[in-house]
Each structure stands twice: as C-alpha cells, then as structure tokens.
Amino acid sequence: MHIGKIIKQELRNQGRTVTWFAKCLYCDRTNVYKIFQRESVDSELLYRISRILSHDFFRYYSRELEEDEGEEEI
C-alpha cells in the first residue's frame, strides 16, 4: 500500500487542487507533492488529511491488517 498515491487519487476524485490542499494543511505545494511520494504518513498528519478531505484514510491500514490476519489463519 502506498498511502501518498491514495491521498493524491482522492484529491483528484474530489476535484480539489494541490494549492487548495496546501492551504488547508498550512504548507507549501512542494510539501504536498512530497506527501504524495510517501509510502507512509505520520498518524497525526494522516488524521488532518482525513479531516480535510472528509475521507478515512486509516481504513486502508485496517483493511490491510484484516487481510494479513486472514492469511495467517490459512
């Protein structure tokens, strides 16, 4: 799982701009592009992003955890 790519895709799905997102995060656009390149994101930042985009990005981790647990039972 690459959370940065998932965030980028959700931003696109919502028709939001990188400039808008950067303003909401109180950072520069270059920092947003760096987030898009990350495979993981600090939980506090991920919480802020989830709130801004009204999208639960933690569910991707939960889903992956459930899949991992299912594989162990086999």
Task: Look at the chain and report how many structural domains it folds into.
Answer: 1
pLDDT value of residue 73 = 58
pLDDT exceeds 60 at position 68: yes
Identify the domain containing residue 34 by its residue range: 3-73
Q: For the residues 40-48, what does the mean pLDDT come to? A: 96
pLDDT value of residue 8 = 98
pLDDT exceeds 80 at position 72: no
pLDDT exceeds 90 at position 53: yes
Task: Choose among 3, 15, 17: nearest CA to 50.
Answer: 3
- CATH number of the CATH domain containing 68: 1.10.260.40
Q: At what angle do helices 58-73 and 43-53 cross, to 10 degrees?
A: 120
pLDDT value of residue 38 = 96
